[in-house]
Amino acid sequence: MGISVIGGGLVAAVIGKPAFIIGAGLTVIGYYKDNRWLPPLGLGMMASSTLIPERRRYRCFRF
């Protein structure tokens, strides 16, 4: 199960901010399907998605 949580963190790093919603869905689906590795994967995604900094785009104006 610990590998699922670490994998969720890695997937969240790749996906970005939408990983929280996807992780919540995976947790619910895994819980109701009686899957042993899907809920920890979703929890890892939800926990790690809030640690990813928001990218800010700064515009450069050329005169």
pLDDT at 6 over 70: yes
Q: What is the pLDDT of residue 19?
A: 87
3-state SS, one letter per residue, for the chain: CHHHHHHHHHHHHHHCCCHHHHHHHHHHHHHHCCCCCHHHHHHHHHHHHCCCCCCCCCCCCCC
Q: pLDDT tens digit string along 9-58? A: 888 888 877 888 999 999 999 999 999 999 999 998 888 866 655 555 55
Q: What is the pLDDT of residue 21?
A: 92
Q: Give the pTM.
A: 0.71
